[in-house]
Structures are given as structure tokens and as C-alpha cells.
Structure 1
Amino acid sequence: MTDLPGREPDLSAFIDIPGVRNLRDAGGVGSLRRGVLYRSGSFHTLTPEGAQRLKTLGLRTVIDLRSDAELELWPDLRHGLDHETLHLPTLPADRESVDRPWPEDQVSLYPFMAETAGPSLVAVIRRLADPGALPALVHCAVGKDRTGLTIAVLQSLLGASDAEIVDDYLLSNAGLGLLDGPTPYLDETGTERVSRPISAELLASSLAWIDAHHGSVPAYLAAHGTTEDELTALRAKLSA
């Protein structure tokens, strides 16, 4: 996977929801149809106007990939929305539970996510395949890294090419105002950090870890408990 310099990003998938960053339709990639799966940043600054616009999407499920600490500090706002929310954190809750250094930068984060996200990804797949789960939205803090990997795995299962997956993944740079470089933000502890643009190589490092350790995305998911019937049900629900 490589970046494609000079190509203008297709911004047609973005949806303007006041108080929610980086919200867009994840469909139109592979056989994933439009209008059933969305991706975004968190809802912790969702405005009443934004909730009214969000209501038009008809969401039945919102999957939150953030940590317990993030949810406690920045809980999603609803303003009367009646979707079900599932908390399926991508990263382990206990740093002591992993036998390798916790990632301190983007480069180390992506293979680490691939190594630890299996249970979350399996739970996401099972929920999306359930009757009545769609339309659904997946989010983390800003919809860039944890959401990026989760959506890439789902798009891969729906037959998307590497190029299609990367093009969609890289749209977060436009959605978060990162086309011109890093921007500062406050993390869940109140510490100022820097949000950095994503690149195709970052996502490639996650998928390379999966390939190196399991051979394919379906085999990786199977190692964490998914069945072929569950993947078939997912594809039937999400396919055009």
C-alpha cells in the first residue's frame, strides 16, 4: 500500500453533523453498500442540531471503540437519539495484560492494534450481522486509527481492493484538517498531544502483521472465534 500523491480526495462520502468530526459513509468500497455502515469521531460534542441531522441516518447501532477512561471523560451525547450503543474497545484495558511495550507513536500503534484488536473486531462483526443492527456507525475518538483498522477489516471482508481501502482510510486526513500537517489536541488525561496525519504505510503495517501471523484477514478472525457462517451473514447484511 502506498500513498497516491497528486490525487484529489473524493469528499462525497462526508456528512456534515455539527459536533461530530470526520463522519462519513463507509460504503461504496468493494461490495459494501452505501447507507448501512458509517464511521466517525466520538459524539461527545454532538449538538442538538447535529442530533437532528444524525437522526435522518436512522442509526440502530453505534459501536464505540474507545477506552473506559475516554468514555468516562468524554461520554457520547445523545440528545434523544434512540440507537443502541456498544462499547467494544480496540485496545486492552489493562496495559499490564500485554507482554510488549505499549505504543507511544503511530508507527508502533498500528501493528499493536492488529495484535490486540481481534476480540473487538469479532464482536463488531457479530453485532453487525445481527437482525436489526443496521444502519450502524463505528467510532473512536476522531475516527482515524482504531476506526480506520476496524473499517479496513470490514471492507476487506466485503471484497475491497487494497487501493479502495487505502483511499477511504486516507480521507480522515481531510476530515480532520490534517492535510497540511499535525494539529494539537488534549488526550483523556488532559495532556496536550499532537494528532498526526495518517499514511498508507501505517495501515499496511497492521495488515502486514495480520498476514504474517495468520495469512489472511478471515484466518485472523477465525483465530479469535469467528465462524464462516458469521462472515457469510455479515456479507449478506452489508453487500450491495
Structure 2
Amino acid sequence: MVGFWVKALDKKMLAFWALAFALLFAACSNDDNGTILVNPIGGESCAAIEESSSSDYALSSSVVASSSSADGLVSISTTVMEDTLEIFAFGGVKLDVVADSFLTKFDYGDVVMVMIAGYDTVDVPVVAGYGYVFPGEFFLYVSEGLNYIKLEARYGQMAEVVGLGRDLKFPIDVVVQMKEKGGYVDHLENLKSLSIANYPGAYPDLSIEEFANFRMVHTTGMGEGVLYRSSSPIDPAIYRNAIADSLAAVAGVRTFVNLADELQYAEEYKGFADSYYATQNVVYLNVEPAFANTPFKEGLVKGLRYMIEHEGPYLVHCTYGMDRTGFTIAVLEALMGATAGEIKADYATTHKNFYNVVNGQHVALTAKQVALLQAIIVRLMQNSFKTAGVDISDFENADLASATEKYLLALGMEQSEIEALKSRLK
């Protein structure tokens, strides 16, 4: 379990908050008659993981202009702080605004438009901590008492997303404008309520396949018995590995795409040498869920090329089979012609398999909760595709197959490779 938490924490968090590991484990685990309750996203008890540096305590010299736009929306004007260590080492973009001052005009749960002059514009929720968004999502970090606010991507590098490179020149003007008052409040409330358990007895309503989050992908255009997804068949962190490995063997999976591990780490898992998994083709990608950043994109392409070069059936997994797997599978589904509704439904199925555990028993998610979870994959795909120059802002009506081909081409794949991949998946 310790190995899982070390891997799950963002790398920059490890640099400053080694002690936070112990606190996080204590806050997010609840021993109740052998049940281990986990919230892998964050939530009320384990979301307040804050980052700091020596510059956090310097007095701000900013003079923030506040105004209302022609349509009555609140906005502020400021600049990017000249914290190049933060920008280039950690990817955060600090804005020269005192957090308490910002919170007199905006509230947690608001969705704002951040317009960086000469660079990019992004829509993000205002939140108090890293754990109040799903992995890969963008957010505006606002913590009371700090002399700045910060544009961030959970597990990612927001500076790269908005185009801040080594050639940047200060000052860089920024406008933060209200996009939707309270537009993220429902998501915040939903995140706080989600918990899972790590033993089958908490899920009497699920099949063993559902407990392991194991299933065949059968969206439009996908071949029968060609592509599978699951929680990790080798990582014992969430106690589903042996089940997932056995199910993969029954399905005859020949090629695994492991988004979570590197080979050396994977071989250390208890039981790895005796697993079905260890006898098959595996590509180890070890990528963080930073879907809009270069390392994940390069890992995605490497994984897809490995699939082209090896026979199926294929199985894609990370640890839970939720975030990295969810995005990767959504890309493959879109490429093969899946509808927006199919992509969203399959993404949310994973969350239904894990959430929600209340008083030690699985309780079905409400329709509203499912809709909120489905919206996550839409945002993740829109954000990542946008960084590749592909617009799917009208997700429901976009030609997602064509858009995904353009996305993969922008990531460096050749058209012939894309056709070969599609042929493998038919």
C-alpha cells in the first residue's frame, strides 16, 4: 500500500511535502472492520494538500484593477508573477493577486476565464486545494492567506498548456473574468462525497468483473473481444489485481498497455512472477495523468505504436483503471467511431464500479452524480485536444473520429500508423 501512495502523489509534491505522505495516508484511510475506505480523487479530508515555496511569504506589490465588463461580469486585471522556478520546474502559473482580495469578488466553485495576453485563454474552477479536481483537470488554486493565486493542472504543467516557454518576457498581463457563477459547486459537493472500498464484500450488487473494473470495450466501431480495460492486474494496492489477472487470462489478452508502472517497479509487486500478465506482451509507460502535457502524449503514442506492433486482444490499465485508462480508452473509442454518449457512458461505468461506498456498502450513484462524472471526460478530451490544435468544444456534435485522427497526427503519429491501429481494433 505504501508503494501505491508514493507513486500516486505528484512528483512536485514529493519534493516539498515528504511529511504529507504520512498525513495523507492517515486522513484518507479508515479501518472499519477490515474495510479500507479510499478516496483516490481527494475530497474534504484529503484535499487540502497545499504547495509552497520561499516566495509564498513575500509581500505582494501588485495593484489589481477590478472592473465589470459590458455584460456585468466581474473581472480583475493583473500580471503573471516573475517566479520562473515555479513556471519552469513545476509548471504552475502564479498570478499577482492576494488570495483574500480575490475571494472578495469570486467564490470557491465559480468557473472563471483566465486570459493570458499573448498566450492562451482557459476556463477553470476556483478551488482551495489540489484535491478538489480530478486528475488531469485545470484549476485556479486560491488559498486564504497567500499573496498569490495560481493557475494549475492536477499532475500537469499548466505553463506548458498555456504556452509559457523559456523565451517568455515579463510583464505578462492577465485578466480573470467570471465565466459561470457557482458553475463548479455541484462538482465540489460530489467530489467530497465519493469513497471506495477495497474488498468484494462491500459490493454485493456487483459481479466479480465489475469489482475488478474489468470489461470489454464495445462501443461503435470496436471489434468484438479486441480491447479490454481494467484495474491493475499486478498492483495489489487496491486488492483487485489477482481478479483482473485471472479475467485477462480467461479473455486471452495477449498485449497489455500499462500506463502506471515502469518494468523495474512492476517486477517488485508480490506475485508478479507467477502472474498470467508476466507471460504476455507488456509496454510499461509510467505516465502521470497530465493529459495535456508532452510526457503523457509521448507515452500515449508509444503505447499505441506498441499495440500496432503486437497482436491482440489488448488490455489497457493504470492502477484503478479510471483516469489514465479512462482517457486512453476514450481516445481509442473516439478514433473507432464511438458517439459522444458512448464515450461518456463507458467513462462513468468505471466510477459506478467504484463509487459510492457508504457505511461499508456500495450505494448506486444518482443520475446527477453520473452526469457530473461524465462531464469530466469531456473536459479532459477538450483540453488535451485543444493543446494539439484540435477543436472539439462542441463535443456532442463534433466528428470525434476525424478529430481524434487529427489529434494523433499532431502528437506525431503517421497516417499509416493510425490506419494500422484502426485495423487492429476492428
Do structure 1's residue 16 and structure 2's residue 208 form an aligned pair? yes
Offset, 1:70: 6.8
Q: Given that residues 61 and 83 in structure 1 are in contact (C-alpha distance below 8 angstroms), is that contact kept between their aligned partners in structure 2?
A: yes
Structure 1 or 2: larger strand share?
A: 2
Offset, 1:16: 3.3
- Residue 154 of structure 1, aligned match among 303, 314, 332: 332
Offset, 1:59: 1.3
**Deviation per residue, 1:161-199 (Å, 9 max, x gap):** 1111011110001222x1457x9xxxxxxxxxxxx9871
Name 2:414's counterpart in structure 1. 227
Q: In the comparison of the two structures, how many residue pairs are matched?
A: 189
Name 2:349's counterpart in structure 1. 171
Name 2:377's counterpart in structure 1. 203
Name 1:30's counterpart in structure 2. 220
Q: Given that residues 213 and 353 in structure 2 are in contact (C-alpha distance below 8 angstroms), is that contact kept between their aligned partners in structure 1?
A: yes
Alpha-carbon distance in 1 for matches of 2:418, 2:327? 17
Do structure 1's residue 83 and structure 2's residue 292 form an aligned pair? no
Alpha-carbon distance in 1 for matches of 2:251, 2:291? 29
Alignment of 1:114-133 (within 5 A): 114-116=292-294, 117-130=296-309, 132-133=310-311
Offset, 1:237: 1.4
Q: SS of the counterpart of 1:114?
A: coil
For structure 1, the residue ranges without an aligned partner over 5 or more in a row are 1-13, 92-108, 184-195
Offset, 1:77: 2.9
1:72 to 1:57, Cα distance in 2 relative to 1, 3 A = closer
TM value normalised by structure 2: 0.40
Q: Given that residues 344 and 375 in structure 2 are in contact (C-alpha distance below 8 angstroms), is that contact kept between their aligned partners in structure 1?
A: no
Alignment of 1:43-192 (within 5 A): 43=233, 44-45=235-236, 46-47=241-242, 51-68=245-262, 71=266, 74=269, 77=272, 79-81=274-276, 82-91=279-288, 112-116=290-294, 117-130=296-309, 132-176=310-354, 178-179=355-356
Q: Given that residues 140 and 147 in structure 1 are in contact (C-alpha distance below 8 angstroms), is that contact kept between their aligned partners in structure 2?
A: yes
Offset, 1:157: 0.6
Runs of 4+ in 1 over 6 A off after TM superposition: none
For structure 2, the residue ranges without an aligned partner over 5 or more in a row are 1-205, 361-368, 391-402
Alpha-carbon distance in 2 for matches of 1:17, 1:167? 17
**Deviation per residue, 1:13-70 (Å, 9 max, x gap):** x97359x7211111x20201121111111122433x7655432211111111114497
Alpha-carbon distance in 1 for matches of 2:247, 2:382? 38
Alpha-carbon distance in 1 for matches of 2:286, 2:270? 14
Alpha-carbon distance in 2 for matches of 1:224, 1:152? 16
Identical-pair percentage: 26
Alpha-carbon distance in 1 for matches of 2:259, 2:404? 19
1:219 to 1:54, Cα distance in 2 relative to 1, 3 A = closer
Amino acid at match of 2:274: H
1:137 to 1:223, Cα distance in 2 relative to 1, 3 A = same
Q: Given that residues 210 and 217 in structure 1 are in contact (C-alpha distance below 8 angstroms), is that contact kept between their aligned partners in structure 2?
A: no
Name 1:9's counterpart in structure 2. none
TM value normalised by structure 1: 0.68
Amino acid at match of 1:32: M
Q: Given that residues 25 and 39 in structure 1 are in contact (C-alpha distance below 8 angstroms), is that contact kept between their aligned partners in structure 2?
A: yes
> What do you get for the CA RMSD once the two structures are aligned?
3.1
Q: Given that residues 115 and 209 in structure 1 are in contact (C-alpha distance below 8 angstroms), is that contact kept between their aligned partners in structure 2?
A: no
